[in-house]
Amino acid sequence: MGKINVEEQRVLLYDPLKCTGCLFCQIACSYRHFKEFNLEKAHLKIQFDSKTGEFEAIYCQHCDEPLCVAACPKEAAVKDEETGLVKINPLRCIGCKTCTVACPLSVPWFSSEYHVAMKCDFCDGDPQCAKFCSPQAIRVTARREAWEFNRKRYLEV
């Protein structure tokens, strides 16, 4: 299988105008990874913005040039050049939290239970957050579409 064109790589796209704040995405994520319904263990967080009256999602963008990967002293955070996904290898992670500090959104979180950093792993290609989002506020799309949406939503204010 050849390398996927960067623009066609699959990523998550969040539209705050569609979000109802139900938190099913967080519930599905925590259940998929930990087999428990625990919002604190979800790899994404939904927050209410009292200024705009909208919900906002904090989740991994699987960046083109991820700072978490560049900052990791043990090369535990890696970007798959084929899929574009950024993952953390728990066997290499020393729990230093450098990835969390380096990430502009502070997405990787430290699990005190496992003593490693954790973040979205795209559920091995079947993101449960998107699967269980009824209003489709979070969905899987091509990176190109996410770039365009985010440019319009956040840069053309």
Q: Specify the amino acid at residue 142.
A: A
pLDDT of residue 3 exceeding 80, the answer is: no
- What b/e sequence results for 115-134 when a residue is b if at least 16 CB atoms lie within 10 Å of its CB, and e otherwise? ebbbbbbbbeeebbbbebbe
Q: Judge contact between 114 and 101, C-beta under 8 A.
A: no
pLDDT of residue 128 exceeding 60, the answer is: yes
Range 106-110 average pLDDT: 97
pLDDT in tens, 8-28: 999 999 999 999 999 999 999
Give the gyration radius of the chain's Cα atoms: 15
Range 65-77 average pLDDT: 98
pLDDT of residue 2 exceeding 60, the answer is: no
Burial tier of 82 (Cβ tally within 10 Å: 0-12, 13-18, 19+): exposed
| Domain spanning 63-118: CATH 3.90.280.10 | no
Q: How confident is the model at residue 103 (pLDDT cuts 50, 70, 90)?
A: very high
CATH 3.30.70.20 in the chain: give the residue spans: 10-59+120-151, 63-118
Range 139-154 average pLDDT: 93
Which residues touch 99 (CB under 8 Å, ≥6 apart)? 68, 71, 72, 76, 77, 88, 108, 117, 119
Q: Judge contact between 95 and 105, C-beta under 8 A.
A: no
3-state SS, residue 31: helix
Average pLDDT of every residue of the chain: 95
Give the pLDDT of residue 157. Answer: 62
Q: Which CATH number is 10-59+120-151 given? A: 3.30.70.20
